C-alpha cells in the first residue's frame, strides 16, 4: 500500500528538529553527539504524543494504538505469551468460529488462580487474565514481558481474536513511519519541537502551545474516526436501528 505523501517520517523529524536546534537539516553534517541529541528529542516527542498529557482533564488513549490480532492456544497448556509490544488487553477475546462459549472474559489473575485451585478442568477457555512474566535473566537482557493465562485450560487448539494496547517502538532509518498516519503528522512534529524547545530554554513556549492545540485536534479526529454511527437494535417498538452523531465535546468534559 502506498503511503500518503503528507506522512511525517523519521527523516522529516530529524531534519526539522536538527534545524531547530541549530545543527542544520543535513544529518550527514552532524557530529555523533548532535545526532544522538536529535534522536533523544524525537524519542521523547514520540512518547509525549503516544501517551499524551491531559486535555481539559481528559487523558486520551489512541484508537490506532489498539490493533486487533489473534492467537492460537495449545492443548493442555494454560498460558500463551503476549506479543512483544503488548501493553494491555483491550476488552474480551472472541472465538474465530461459532462455539458454545462466544467470548473469553478478561478477569484478574487472582480469579484464574482461584479457579485453578477449585478445578483442574480442561475445555474451551471462558476466562483470560494477563500477568507479568518473571525475568530469569539478571541483569535484565530484555524489558517487561507478559503472558495470557486461560481457564479452563484449553483442551485443543482454539483461535482467538482480541484487541490490545501496543507499546510502540522508536523510529529509525529502517522504521520510518510513526503510528497515527498523516492526519496526526503535524501533532507529532510539534510534540518533538516542543521537547527541543524545552531542552534549549528549560521552559515551555510557542511549540508547546502549538502541540497542545494540535493534540486537541488530533484527539477529536481519533474519536470521530472510531465512533460508530449505528448503536444497534432499538427494542422499544420505535425505529429498528439507533444512530448518533458523536459529540466530541462530551469526551472533553463539556456539555
Pairing assessment for the beta strands 103-106 and 127-132 based on DSSP bridges? parallel
61 close to 87: Cβ distance less than 8 angstroms: no
pLDDT tens per residue across all 255 residues of the chain = 788 999 999 999 999 999 999 999 999 999 999 999 999 999 999 999 999 999 999 999 999 999 999 999 999 999 999 999 999 999 999 998 776 668 999 999 999 999 999 999 999 999 999 999 887 665 566 778 999 999 999 999 999 999 999 999 999 999 999 999 999 999 999 999 999 999 999 999 999 999 999 999 999 999 998 876 555 555 555 444 433 443 444 344 443
Whole-model pTM: value is: 0.83
Report which of 245, 247, 221, 228 is spatially closest to residue 64, judged by C-alpha positions.
221
Q: Is 209 left (phi over 0), alpha (psi -120 to 50) or beta?
A: alpha
Count of Cβ atoms closer than 10 Å to residue 255 Cβ: 5
78 close to 149: Cβ distance less than 8 angstroms: yes
Angle at 23 between CA 21 and CA 29, to 5 degrees: 155
Count of Cβ atoms closer than 10 Å to residue 129 Cβ: 20
Pairing assessment for the beta strands 159-166 and 68-72 based on DSSP bridges? antiparallel
Cα–chain center distance at 4: 21
First to last CA, the chain: 40
DSSP type of residue 237: S
Q: What is the 3-state secondary structure (H, E, C) of 67-88?
A: CEEEEECCCCCCEEECCCCEEE
Please report where in the chains the cell 472533553 appears, as a residue.
252
| Mean pLDDT, the chain, whole residue set | 89
- Which residues, including other chains, have CB under 8 Å from residue 162's CB and lie 6 or more apart? 68, 69, 70, 71, 89, 90, 91, 92, 93, 94
Radius of gyration of the chain (CA): 23
Amino acid at each position: 500500500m502506498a503511503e500518503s505523501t503528507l506522512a511525517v517520517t523519521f527523516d522529516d523529524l530529524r531534519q526539522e528538529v536538527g534545524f531547530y536546534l541549530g545543527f542544520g537539516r543535513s544529518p550527514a553534517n552532524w557530529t555523533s553527539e548532535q545526532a544522538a541529541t536529535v534522536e533523544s528529542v524525537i524519542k521523547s516527542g514520540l512518547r509525549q504524543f503516544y501517551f499524551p498529557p491531559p486535555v481539559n482533564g481528559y487523558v486520551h488513549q489512541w484508537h490506532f494504538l489498539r490493533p486487533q490480532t489473534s492467537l492460537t492456544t495449545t492443548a493442555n497448556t494454560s498460558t500463551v505469551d503476549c506479543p512483544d509490544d503488548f501493553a494491555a488487553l483491550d476488552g474480551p477475546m472472541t472465538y474465530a468460529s461459532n462455539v458454545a462459549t462466544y467470548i473469553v472474559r478478561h478477569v484478574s489473575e487472582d480469579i484464574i488462580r482461584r479457579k485453578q485451585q477449585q478445578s483442574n478442568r480442561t475445555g474451551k477457555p471462558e476466562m483470560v487474565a494477563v500477568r507479568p512474566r518473571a525475568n530469569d535473566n539478571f541483569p535484565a537482557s530484555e524489558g517487561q514481558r507478559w503472558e495470557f493465562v486461560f481457564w479452563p485450560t484449553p483442551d485443543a487448539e482454539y483461535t482467538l481474536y482480541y484487541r490490545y494496547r501496543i507499546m510502540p517502538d522508536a523510529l529509525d532509518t529502517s522504521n520510518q513511519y510513526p503510528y497515527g498516519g498523516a492526519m496526526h503528522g503535524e501533532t507529532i512534529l510539534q510534540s518533538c519541537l516542543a521537547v527541543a524547545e524545552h531542552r534549549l530554554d528549560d521552559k515551555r513556549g510557542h511549540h508547546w502551545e502549538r502541540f497542545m492545540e494540535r493534540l486537541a485536534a488530533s484527539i477529536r479526529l481519533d474519536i470521530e474516526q472510531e465512533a460508530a454511527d449505528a448503536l444497534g437494535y432499538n427494542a422499544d417498538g420505535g425505529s429498528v436501528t439507533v444512530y448518533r452523531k458523536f459529540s466530541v465535546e462530551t469526551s472533553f468534559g463539556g456539555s
